[in-house]
Amino acid sequence: MRKIYIPTSGAASWQSLLADPEKHWRMGYSARTLAHCWEASDGLPTEVAALFGSDAELLIAIPEHKVSLRDTGRESQTDLFALIKANDRTIAVAVEGKVNETFGPLIKDWFAEPSPGKQQRLQFLCDLIGIGCPPPDHLHYQLFHRTASAILEAERFKTDDAAMIVHSFSAENKWFDAYAAFLHALGLTADCERLVSKRLANGRVLYFGWAKGDPKFLIA
């Protein structure tokens, strides 16, 4: 995992950081849309700032940030990692950009005939998030490792709290039901454009939020 980062020179700078720069950098898709939205904002996009309160401030944002899940498997590549200050607290935030793309494979598919490595990873993720293992089959694996990324980076940067935010540019909030199902398994009720939270075993508060992005960035 790289430890030295350089500033971007605009949205186009994000393309080279993608796992597949040609396939994933397309107009109307999440990677490009998210890049143009955040680069155009003076700090936090309005809809993301609204989740955290009137004094929310972006301290730093790192596109396509890789987070080790403390095993020999692939790192979790977060669309955007941010440190945010709000209400005099610092928050490690994993941002998942979405338009119409799914949250990837379901647990029932990803965990079918699991290798020892997958068993170890899923147990680690569930313990970290605070959910029984194995979790319900209908949940999406991506939401587990994206949430874990926020928690792990909160520990690494010693922030007060952690957050996993879905920044959606879908007019019909596509896949909100999948996000809501994941939160339900954690004992939470999802609410579009409002944070919900749970306290982790380590004392930090873990926030979840669904922000509705400006559709103008779909054609940027």
pLDDT in tens, 30-39: 999 999 999 9
Side chain identity at residue 16, one-letter code: S
Residue 144: per-residue pLDDT? 98
Residue 2: per-residue pLDDT? 77
Residue 28: per-residue pLDDT? 94
Phi, psi (rounded to 5 degrees) for 109:
-90, -45
Residue 200: per-residue pLDDT? 96
For residue 97, give the 3-state DSSP assignment.
Answer: strand
Cα Rg, the chain, nearest whole Å: 16
For the chain, domain boundaries: 48-219
Residue 73: per-residue pLDDT? 87
- The DSSP-derived string for 158-200 is T-SEEEEEEEE--TT-TTHHHHHHHHHHTT----TTS-EEEE-
Which residues of the chain carry a pLDDT beneath 70? Answer: none
Residue 70: per-residue pLDDT? 92
Residue 46: per-residue pLDDT? 97
Model pLDDT for residues 179-218, shown as the tens digit of each residue:
999 999 999 999 999 999 999 999 999 999 999 999 999 9
Length of the chain: 220
The tokens of 166 are what? 């879905």
Residue 40: per-residue pLDDT? 97
Residue 10: per-residue pLDDT? 95
